[in-house]
């Protein structure tokens, strides 16, 4: 565990280190979701319904409503893609028939390659994913047509082929009319919206009052600690006299780098709540609701709460702040052995 004093100096650490870039740690997105789709296939149906459902959930979503007849995409649209956190590609039967769509897809994949923090999420709408991966059926025919038309620019077509394969291999959603997985297209749409809502986009900045003098150096010190432990589970303790900003520091760090994590949670009055089962249950439920969303988590008992926290959060890279901890060993009553945290998670204990 690393402790920081009020001047930002670290005193000790039990985490191993590995170098990593944090160039994207201060990234701010203009949009939560960007939708790529073939207008003639899904504009008036599925994509329109998905867009409305995302917006109704409070997810800031970009959809290009213009009907395009050209082949190149604008610089403005490229900037929108580059400033969106989750890039959703709605693959449909005639997607590859559009050079516009393929150019858009190539830009999406390039953004992901430059910044892995950007997520690619394919939706296979009434199309088999293998048809895209293997470039058979309509996708194969469309690409062959483009190769014939662009016989002097085969590298461009190869770029599209590579982008299709990469996007089709990403984790996503598959719907085919009459399939048993979903009751209806509406059910399928809601599933997508819920999963996106439970991802990074449901995180809101923590309220932080104006920084007191000297806080910036502490924030920078913690950022540097995380910078060298981005692939390790890191526990940081913060201690100091009342009023020096112990609670502000991790909140400020969280607001800066939260996009690098799968979820974040700020748990208050930990010492008081750890003293009784009802308090522990309250904290466990808040943690699950903060990370997984929907606000409906109920654990019943603290032991079941530990099991649920371990089971549901073990694969997620988390940023966890525990405010007012008097004895770090008591945290096991809340979280268990803490050996379930995914690599790259950060856990802050604020000591009074």
Residues in the chain: 352
Question: Quick check: 63 and 116 in contact, CB under 8 A?
Answer: no
Provide the annotated active-site residues.
104
Residue with more model confidence, 348 or 283 = 283
pTM of the model: 0.54
Q: Which of 2-6, 168-172, 254-258, 294-298 has the highest mean pLDDT?
A: 168-172
Cα distance between residue 122 and residue 143, in whole Å: 19
Band (58; pLDDT cuts 50, 70, 90): confident
Asked whether residue 108 carries a pLDDT value surpassing 90, the answer given is: yes
Asked whether residue 10 carries a pLDDT value surpassing 60, the answer given is: no
Q: What is the mean pLDDT of residues 113-140?
A: 92
Question: Quick check: 31 and 82 in contact, CB under 8 A?
Answer: no
Burial of 19 (0-12, 13-18, 19+ CB in 10 A): exposed
Asked whether residue 143 carries a pLDDT value surpassing 90, the answer given is: yes
Residue with more model confidence, 247 or 134 = 134
pLDDT at 265: 86
> Which residues does 175 contact at the CB level (< 8 Å), separation at least 6?
123, 124, 125, 126, 181, 182, 185, 188
**Tokens (6 digits) for 297:** 């988590």
Residue with more model confidence, 212 or 33 = 33
φ, ψ of residue 237 to 5 degrees: the values are -105, 140
Q: What is the mean pLDDT of residues 185-213?
A: 73
Domains and their CATH numbers in the chain: 31-200 (3.40.50.10140), 205-351 (3.40.50.300)
pLDDT at 68: 56
Band (8; pLDDT cuts 50, 70, 90): very low
pLDDT at 120: 93
> Which residues does 129 contact at the CB level (< 8 Å), separation at least 6?
91, 122, 168, 174
Q: What is the mean pLDDT of residues 124-145?
A: 95
């Amino acid at each position: 565990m690393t402790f920081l004093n009020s001047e930002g100096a670290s005193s000790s650490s039990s985490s191993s280190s590995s170098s990593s870039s944090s160039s994207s740690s201060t990234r701010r997105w203009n949009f939560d979701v960007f939708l790529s789709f073939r207008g003639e296939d899904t504009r008036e149906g599925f994509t329109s319904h998905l867009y409305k459902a995302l917006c109704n959930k409070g997810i800031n979503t970009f959809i290009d409503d213009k009907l395009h007849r050209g082949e190149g995409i604008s610089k403005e649209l490229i900037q929108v893609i580059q400033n969106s956190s989750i890039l959703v590609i709605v693959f449909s039967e005639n997607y590859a028939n559009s050079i516009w769509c393929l150019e858009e897809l190539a830009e999406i994949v390039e953004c992901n390659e430059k910044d892995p923090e950007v997520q690619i999420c394919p939706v296979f709408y009434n199309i088999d994913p293998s048809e895209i991966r293997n470039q058979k059926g309509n996708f194969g025919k469309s690409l062959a047509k483009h190769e014939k038309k662009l016989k002097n620019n085969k590298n461009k077509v190869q770029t599209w082929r590579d982008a299709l394969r990469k996007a089709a291999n990403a984790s996503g959603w598959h719907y085919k009319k009459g399939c048993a997985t979903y009751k209806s297209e509406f059910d399928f749409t809601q599933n997508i919206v819920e999963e996106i809502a439970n991802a990074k986009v449901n995180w809101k900045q923590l309220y932080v009052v104006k920084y007191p003098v000297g806080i910036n150096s502490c924030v920078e010190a913690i950022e540097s600690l995380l910078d060298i432990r981005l692939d390790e589970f890191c526990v940081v303790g913060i201690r100091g006299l009342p009023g020096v900003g112990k609670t502000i520091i991790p909140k400020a760090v969280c607001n800066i780098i939260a996009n690098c994590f799968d979820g974040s949670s700020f748990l208050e009055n930990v010492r008081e709540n750890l003293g009784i089962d009802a308090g522990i249950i309250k904290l466990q439920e808040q943690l699950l609701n903060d990370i997984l969303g929907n606000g409906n988590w109920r654990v019943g008992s603290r032991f079941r709460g530990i099991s649920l926290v371990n089971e549901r959060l073990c694969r997620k890279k988390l940023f966890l702040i525990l405010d007012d901890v008097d004895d770090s060993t008591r945290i096991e009553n809340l979280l268990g052995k803490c050996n379930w945290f995914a690599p790259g998670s950060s856990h802050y204990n604020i000591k009074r």
